[in-house]
């Protein structure tokens, strides 16, 4: 099992820059770096610099992963940097990014279908609930755009790994993979997001497991709110996700991705308005059993807070964390995942 860091969210990432971040990753004993987009590494797609980054990762024995960004045409105006490298043409920009990443051997490329809009809480913080365009139209536009990228993806032996983001269900991602083709489309598994769609993390993993190429690993806790639940993200092992069940589902499906820890710090919360009729009406894939499982997990957490075995939401994050605390998020998460993998291996050996 290889556990690495998120090249955008790791502490001091912007200050360090790509090369020093890779070196810091190795110093801390982590296994690799996942840069959200190749433009985070080189905004101009400088081939020489990208090759130098790859060479340094190889020298240190680290994995190197990269991505592309927005694949929903209704959301692409929020990524002007992609259009810039295409000289005004977003499709050309994406094509050049695919060519640049695959030239250094990065062929599983992160993509996502929308941003999480932080203007306000509520339904409209998530692009699934835009009023200017239906979500079904956004999905269809995404499918068409992905189809336009297929020639270059096939030519370069690449696949776009769509993130299980807050706005899209795992069932919708699986349908996209089936429509576009698993040879060019896969999944980036982020279990902190699936609960926002009312999905049980373990069940969600089982749905997408055969297609998982990349990961963003975080834990979550859930607690009651008047309209449903609220999610808070945490380091793996500090929440309620059953990591042994998650890893077991991935490995059983033949998926052995790198496990990249997505750092969060501070108030990373999200409403899950399970009892809102509007939310319910726009959840065609919702399963009652999974919603009940989320409620069970919320009670498990609240009982843990009551007996002192879990930390209350307002007490989890330090107001002024030091560097050791921030970097420790990844270390603790990695230890949790490795322990879960060891437990799985031990169970198999007993059988």
The structure tokens listed for 297 are 């997990």
Beta bridge partners of 186: 161
pLDDT for the residue numbered 120: 57
Give the burial class of 195: count Cβ atoms within 10 A of its Cβ; 0-12 exposed, 13-18 middle, 19 or more buried. Answer: buried
Tell me the pLDDT tens digit for each residue of 161-188. 999 999 999 999 999 999 999 999 999 9
* Cα–Cα nearest to 311, from 332, 293, 331, 327: 332
Q: pLDDT-based confidence at 44, cuts 50/70/90?
A: very high
Map the chain to HEC letters: CCEEEECCCCCCHHHHHHHHHHHHHHHCCCCEEECCCHHHHCCCCCHHHHHHHHHHHHHCCCEEEEEEEECCCCCHHHCHHHHHHCCCCHHHHHHHHHHHHHHCCCCEEEEECCCECCCCCCHHHEHHHCCCCCHHHHHHHHHHHHHHHHHHHHHHCCEEEEECCCCCCHHHHHHHHHHHCCCCEEEEEEHHHHHHHCCCHHHHHHHHHHHEEEEEECEEEEEEECCEEEEEEECCCCCCCCHHHHHHHHHHCCCCCCEEECCCCCCCEEEECCCCHHHHHCCCCCCHHHHHHHHHHHHHHHHHHHHCCCCCHHHHCCCCCCHHHHHHHHHHHHHHHHHHHHHHHHHHHHC
Q: What is the pLDDT of residues 133-158, one digit of tens each?
A: 999 999 999 999 999 999 999 999 99
Cβ atoms within 10 Å, residue 178? 11
Confidence of residue 270 (pLDDT cuts 50, 70, 90): confident
Please provide the average confidence, as pLDDT, over all residues in the chain.
Answer: 95
Check residue 61 and give left, alpha or beta (phi > 0: left; psi -120 to 50: alpha). left
d(CA 64, CA 35): 8
Q: Is the pLDDT of residue 115 over 90?
A: no
Q: How are strands ordered across the β-sheet holding 32-34? A: 212-216, 185-190, 159-163, 108-112, 63-70, 32-34, 3-6, 259-261
246 burial level (CB within 10 Å; 0-12, 13-18, 19+): buried
User: Which among 6, 141, 160, 133 is positioned nearest to 68, based on CA atoms?
Assistant: 160
> So what's the pLDDT on residue 127?
92
Residue 62 pLDDT > 80: yes
C-alpha gyration radius of the chain: 20
Name which residue leads in pLDDT, 289 or 345. Answer: 289
Confidence of residue 121 (pLDDT cuts 50, 70, 90): low
Domains of the chain: 3-350 (3.20.20.150)
Instruction: Return the higher-pLDDT residue of 260 and 348.
Output: 260
For the whole prediction, is pTM greater than 0.75? yes
pLDDT of residue 152: 98
Residues in Cβ contact with 117 at an 8 Å cutoff, skipping those fewer than 6 apart: 124, 125, 126, 127
């Amino acid at each position: 099992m290889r556990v690495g860091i998120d090249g955008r969210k790791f502490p001091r990432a912007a200050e360090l820059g790509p090369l020093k971040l890779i070196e810091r990753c190795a110093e801390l004993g982590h296994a690799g770096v996942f840069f959200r987009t190749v433009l985070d590494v080189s905004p101009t797609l400088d081939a020489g610099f990208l090759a130098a980054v790859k060479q340094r990762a190889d020298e240190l024995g680290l994995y190197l992963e990269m991505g592309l960004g927005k694949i929903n045409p209704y959301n692409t105006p929020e990524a002007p940097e992609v259009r810039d490298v295409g000289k005004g043409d977003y499709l050309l920009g994406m094509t050049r990014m695919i060519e640049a990443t695959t030239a250094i051997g990065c062929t599983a490329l992160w993509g996502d279908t929308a941003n999480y809009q932080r203007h306000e809480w509520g339904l409209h913080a998530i692009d699934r609930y835009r009023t200017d365009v239906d979500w079904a139209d956004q999905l269809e536009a995404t499918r068409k755009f992905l189809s336009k990228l297929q020639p270059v993806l096939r030519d370069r032996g690449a696949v776009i790994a769509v993130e299980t983001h807050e706005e899209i269900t795992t069932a919708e991602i699986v349908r996209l993979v089936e429509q576009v083709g698993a040879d060019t489309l896969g999944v980036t598994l982020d279990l902190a997001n699936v609960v926002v769609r009312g999905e049980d993390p373990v069940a969600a993993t089982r749905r997408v497991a055969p297609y998982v190429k990349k990961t963003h690993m975080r834990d979550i806790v859930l607690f009651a709110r008047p309209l449903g639940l609220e999610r808070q993200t945490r380091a793996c092992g500090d929440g309620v996700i059953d990591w042994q069940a998650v890893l077991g589902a991935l490995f059983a499906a033949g998926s052995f991705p790198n496990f990249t820890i997505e750092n969060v710090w501070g108030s990373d919360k999200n409403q899950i308005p399970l009892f809102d009729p509007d939310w319910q009406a726009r959840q065609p894939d919702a399963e009652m059993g999974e919603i009940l499982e989320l409620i069970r997990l919320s009670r498990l957490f609240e009982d843990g807070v009551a007996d002192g075995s879990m930390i209350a939401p307002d007490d989890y994050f330090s107001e002024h964390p030091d560097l050791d605390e921030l970097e420790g998020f990844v270390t603790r998460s990695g230890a949790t995942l490795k322990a879960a993998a060891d437990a799985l291996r031990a169970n198999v050996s007993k059988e």
